[in-house]
Amino acid sequence: MPEETLDHLKQSGTQSTLPLAGIRVIEFSHMVMGPTCGLILADLGADVIKVEPAPEGDKTRKLTGSGAGFFTAYNRNKRSVAVDIKSVEGKAFVERLIATADVLVENFRPGALDAMGLGYAKLKETNPGLIYCSAKGFLAGPYEKRTALDEVVQMMGGLAYMTGPPGRPLRAGASVNDVMGGMFGAIGVMAALRQRDVTGQGSEVISALFENCAFLSGQHMTQFAMTGKPAAPMPARLSAWAVYDVFDCSDGEQVFVGVVSDRQWKTFCEDFHLLDLLADPALDTNAKRCHARDAFLPQIRRLFLTIPSETLMANCEKSGLPYAPIRRPEDLFDDPHLQQSGGLLDITLPDGTETQVPALPISVGGWRPGVRLNIPRSGQHSQELAQELGFSNEEIDTLKQSGIINFSD
């Protein structure tokens, strides 16, 4: 993107100047993976139209417990239309909508949209430039018909084994495969759009949870290939660095501290007055220190137990050492870096509640993607989309009365 365009984008933030301005995306998805793909495209400027089932809308809206935040986290900057696509009229409406699209994103079970005549092979006949992105559990192969969840692929992809202690596989604390699967779907969509610029033809993109998890586990696979030794679960691993731990402080708080080079070891020992450790030839390289951790780490733990967490972090900051406080997700609302860097976006929920959500973790020429549209009500944009598609007022009234399309007030 030309520098002058980026400058204008940063100043105006208008729709027409965003990177994916002019790209229309139709999103048939729920939960996390598909919506994440749509979210990335929407934040970058695409007109993303979320097709929800009428009359109740996306069931993700009503999840409780650990799923209560899914819809809010992944559905900003989208327009919503609620349609009964199993009806003749509803399917016709959707087909008319897809005819205007550059991209379709879906995460239905394998074959579901094909059975409805909305699969890629059918749609490309009338829209050959369409990019059709499917978010699935598995790519083509022996597992492709299986039902997948983030937990499923974490268990079979090695991630849960690596996260928990020996004998206790544990899923990661966030929907890492769903989110990354959506991210890779968006990457595939943007690559396909670029390819379409050259060929004039659309293509099918498939992003899958299992293959995503295998990609995450790749570093441990190559570790085994290079050393012949299986990677141990993270809580039982031999760390690549001697000081790479969570430490208790005098005020009851915990701080992670890492010392990841011989230069940092020298700085660490000097600044924390551990000159006896620095002078010990048995600890003069990282490799030696890794094998001697049990000998010197207790001394460091005792020292840190005498230091308040804020003092410890200030000392690490001054010394240029890696460190981190142990925070909970709700603490991030008050994180000064996120607040001051544009890392949190203000949104208003359909019930009027005001809150914040994390922005995309990217900066383009100093520009951070923001909020153009708040979280939509189910069917909030049905009427304006029907009008955009050329439906007459009489036809819209008929659709309203039939309940085939939900027109939210």
59-77 pLDDT tens trace: 999 999 999 999 999 999 9
Question: Interhelix angle for 262-271 vs 309-319, to 10°?
Answer: 130
**Does residue 396 or residue 11 have the better pLDDT?**
396
Which of 93, 213, 204 lies closest to 148, judged by CA?
213
For the segment 197-245, what is each residue's pLDDT rounded down to a tens digit? 999 999 999 999 999 999 999 999 999 999 999 999 988 877 789 999 9
Spatial distance between the Cα atoms of 384 and 216, rounded to a whole number of angstroms? 42
Spatial distance between the Cα atoms of 107 and 290, rounded to a whole number of angstroms? 45
CATH for 239-328? 3.30.1540.10
Q: How far apart, in Å, are the Cα atoms of 281 and each of 98, 244, 292, 298?
A: 69, 20, 12, 18
For the segment 5-42, what is each residue's pLDDT rounded down to a tens digit? 444 444 444 556 899 999 999 999 999 999 999 999 99
The residue extents of the domains of the chain are: 3-216+342-406, 239-328
pTM of the model: 0.92
For the segment 89-118, what is each residue's pLDDT rounded down to a tens digit? 999 999 999 999 999 999 998 889 999 999
CATH entry 3.40.50.10540 includes domain 3-216+342-406: yes
Average pLDDT of the chain is: 93
For the segment 287-333, what is each residue's pLDDT rounded down to a tens digit? 999 999 999 999 999 999 999 999 999 999 999 999 999 999 999 99
Give the contacts of 215 (CB within 8 A, at least 6 positions apart): none
What is the CB-side half-sphere exposure of residue 408 using CA atoms within 13 A? 20
Ramachandran region, residue 365 (left: φ > 0; alpha: ψ -120 to 50; beta: rest): left
pLDDT of 237 reads 78
In CATH terms, are 3-216+342-406 and 239-328 the same topology? no
